[in-house]
Chains A and B, each alone.
Chain A
Amino acid sequence: MRIERYDMIVIGAGPAGLSAAIEAAKCGIKPIVFDENARPGGQLFKQIHKFFGSKEHKAKMRGFNIGKELLEEAEKAGVKVVLGATVTGLFDGKEVTVRIGDTIKHVQGDSILVATGASENMVNFDGWTLPGVIGAGAAQTMMNLHHVKPGDRILMLGTGNVGLVVSYQLMQAGCEVVALVDAAPRVGGYGVHASKVARCGVPFYLSHTILRAEGDDHVTGVVIGEVGPGWKVIPGTEKHFDVDTICLAVGLSPMAQLLSMAGCQMNDTKGGYVPVIDEDGMTSIDGVFSAGDVTGIEEASSAMIEGRISGLAVAHYLGYIDDAEKQQRIEEQEKALDALRQGMFAPQNRGKKIEKTEEGIPVSENLLDKGYIADDEIARYPGVTHKKGIHPVIECTQNIPCNPCQDACKFGCISIGDNITSLPVVTEDSQCTGCGMCVASCSGQAIFLVEEDVEPGYGEVTMPYEFLPLPKKGDCGVALGRDGKVVCDAEVTKIRSAKAFDHTNLLTIKVPNDMLMKARFFKSQE
């Protein structure tokens, strides 16, 4: 019996697996990567939004473009990716069975890296098996990979980042999102993600859950209700929506079956069944490593760094780099990883109620309850200043690891400082030119430009705009507030698109001066 042998077998060509293979290949290893999908990149190619983080984390790049860069890097490094290859088993002696087409191949590795990612969680309610109830990730696959609209009228369950991001993308795809629902009492994801959905007019129902999906052979409606003490629905709080699709964004679970069947020591945690790993990603089995979502759900940015660390650890394990080189190169990666794991949403803060920002400013309660910052809360943040002339208004109010806005302004108007989670500050004495780079660079679409008295009694608000068709100069319509409700009439005075904006268009509207701090979205009238 002849079994093919490799230095390193990588299972999963997502951000974690690819990054590991790249790093190992750069050290001289010839890794082979198996992925069951028809294309590499894992979850990354569904992410059409701009990522958070810093330059080192490729912040403000859209996820799929980060994926493209990763693929190019993999090709350059000589990483071999076999697609349509499902790994069905992981056995003693680091032997792997791979199903390709109708045959099962056996391969053996001197090292194995499992980076199989995660699968979507489900919830039960009456009618949950009706066609039209889908996972949010599935909705994303349909629209962003296959260009198929998942439905026309959609209710989203889950206000974590996945629920928020996918809701926004559904609207970009032309769907109507009728409501965002979460059983938790507070919005789970980033406030900036919530705000960009709320200002489009999507209502948030916190402490609510789905009671039933309606329909005979497909979803035609949904009923939600308010959750009271003991997770019981309070009678009389039922609300009905006509929808054809219900999207579930209720978390992900690591897919660690391969590691568990191989006999790795496992840990049953709240976040799922995960392998016990050391700081380099090695499991309890010598030479078997693991990285990315399969070791605990985080993000693509951290999955890539974890992958790179494991790739270097594999290179060291196989003797391709020495102790000193390993340590030095892993240290750099760990610094980057550490930066991502800071702030209000850091893993160690999960589930905690945070009352104040690092700066000691009370967090917006309204943002957590309803998805938007109330008019009387906004002025307390350091990104919100008042001036007559054009200046940025930064409605980024939570400590998140993100700083592209600071790099975007070449005129020094915006400062975050060395601590990446600090709130952006608009510096008092700087001169804003209105170039709009900050607005387009903000991953959270949280920056607006405001100018008073452009003509008597009227000023202008410039906002990020990522919907098609684009409004045209001269279009009349209404301005919506942070809560998505109409605040006044508005006229489009400028629309700017540029390569450097990377598909975030800048829409400028004219509104009365006293509406400048209220108008945050525009809707054409016809």
Chain B
Amino acid sequence: MTDIQEVLNKIGPYEPAEDDHLLVCRCEEVTKGEIRKAVHEGMFTIEELRRYLRCGMGLCQGQTCGKLVKGIVARELGVAVTDVTPATSRAPMRPTEMEIAGNDGGEQA
């Protein structure tokens, strides 16, 4: 288990940056600054960020921003990109309307 407090001590406080206003997740309009700030609030995995900020939860399901978000988190934590736990993949893999999902009775049509 990661000791959250230890990591937070190591990376120090959030410092505003010039490009904090950059949109990263355009589906849910989440900026780079918000993601960086969230890291300093203790969100280290993509899964946590998704729940906290909704980045990667929009129409494209993180297809566009997933890699970018991971990069930002890794840089903020000072770790390799591959050390950031990726998001859990869940069905449906592509956005599906509730009506269609609701009508799925598990049968073969």
Is A472 located at the chain interface by the 8 A CB criterion? no
C-alpha spacing A257/B101, complex, angstroms: 19
Q: Which of A88, A104, A124 contacts B93 (CB 8 A)?
A: A88
Q: Which of A36, A107, A256 contacts B94 (CB 8 A)?
A: A36
Is A348 located at the chain interface by the 8 A CB criterion? no
A253 to B, closest residue via Cβ: B67
- Assess the A1–B92 pair: CB atoms within 8 A: no
CB-CB under 8 A for A106 and B93, given A124-B32, A268-B82: no
C-alpha spacing A126/B23, complex, angstroms: 8
Q: Which of A86, A99, A105, A128 has the most CB of B within 10 A?
A: A99
C-alpha spacing A123/B24, complex, angstroms: 9
Interfacial chain B residues near A124, Cβ < 8 Å: 19, 22-24, 32, 68
- Cβ < 8 Å to A, chain B residues 58-109: 63-68, 81-82, 86, 88-94, 96, 99-101, 103-104, 106-109
Q: Which of A105, A107, A257 contacts B89 (CB 8 A)?
A: A257
Q: Which of B26, B32, B89, B103 has the most CB of A within 10 A?
A: B89
Is A385 located at the chain interface by the 8 A CB criterion? no
Is A430 located at the chain interface by the 8 A CB criterion? no
- Cβ < 8 Å to B, chain A residues 81-99: 86-91, 97, 99
Interfacial chain A residues near B86, Cβ < 8 Å: 260, 268, 273
Chain B 21-37 interface 0/1 with A at a Cβ cutoff of 8 Å (1 = within): 01110100000100000
- Assess the A89–B103 pair: CB atoms within 8 A: no
Across chains A and B, the number of contacting residue pairs, with CB separation under 8 Å, is 89
- State the Cβ distance, B87 to closest chain A Cβ, in Å: 9
- State the Cβ distance, B34 to closest chain A Cβ, in Å: 13
C-alpha spacing A4/B104, complex, angstroms: 15
CB-CB under 8 A for A261 and B108, given A119-B63, A122-B64, A129-B26: no
Interfacial chain A residues near B104, Cβ < 8 Å: 97, 103-104
- State the Cβ distance, B8 to closest chain A Cβ, in Å: 23
- Assess the B23–A88 pair: CB atoms within 8 A: no
C-alpha spacing A129/B88, complex, angstroms: 26
B32 to A, closest residue via Cβ: A124
Is A270 located at the chain interface by the 8 A CB criterion? yes
Is A3 located at the chain interface by the 8 A CB criterion? yes
C-alpha spacing A261/B100, complex, angstroms: 20
Interfacial chain B residues near A122, Cβ < 8 Å: 64-65, 67-68
CB-CB under 8 A for A258 and B68, given A99-B96, A103-B100, A105-B109: no
C-alpha spacing A284/B70, complex, angstroms: 25
Q: Helix, strand, loop or mixed for chain B's interface? A: loop
- Assess the A103–B109 pair: CB atoms within 8 A: yes
- Assess the B100–A89 pair: CB atoms within 8 A: no
- State the Cβ distance, B70 to closest chain A Cβ, in Å: 9
Interfacial chain A residues near B68, Cβ < 8 Å: 122-124
- Assess the B91–A91 pair: CB atoms within 8 A: yes
Is A418 located at the chain interface by the 8 A CB criterion? no
Is A525 located at the chain interface by the 8 A CB criterion? no
Is A121 located at the chain interface by the 8 A CB criterion? yes
B29 to A, closest residue via Cβ: A129
Is A2 located at the chain interface by the 8 A CB criterion? yes
Is A376 located at the chain interface by the 8 A CB criterion? no
Interfacial chain B residues near A90, Cβ < 8 Å: 91
Interfacial chain A residues near B106, Cβ < 8 Å: 1, 106
Q: Which of A4, A128, A256, A257 has the most CB of B within 10 A?
A: A257
- Assess the A107–B82 pair: CB atoms within 8 A: no
C-alpha spacing A439/B59, complex, angstroms: 47
Interfacial chain B residues near A119, Cβ < 8 Å: 63
- Cβ < 8 Å to B, chain A residues 1-54: 1-4, 36
- State the Cβ distance, B68 to closest chain A Cβ, in Å: 6
- 11 additional A-B pairs beyond A3-B108, A123-B68, beta carbons within 8 Å, are A86-B94, A88-B96, A89-B91, A89-B92, A102-B100, A119-B63, A124-B24, A257-B93, A260-B88, A269-B82, A270-B82
Partner-B contacts on A (CB < 8 A): 1-4, 36, 86-91, 97, 99-100, 102-107, 119, 121-126, 128-129, 253, 255-258, 260-261, 268-270, 273
Closest 7 CB pairs of A and B: A89-B91, A88-B92, A257-B89, A260-B89, A104-B104, A261-B89, A268-B82
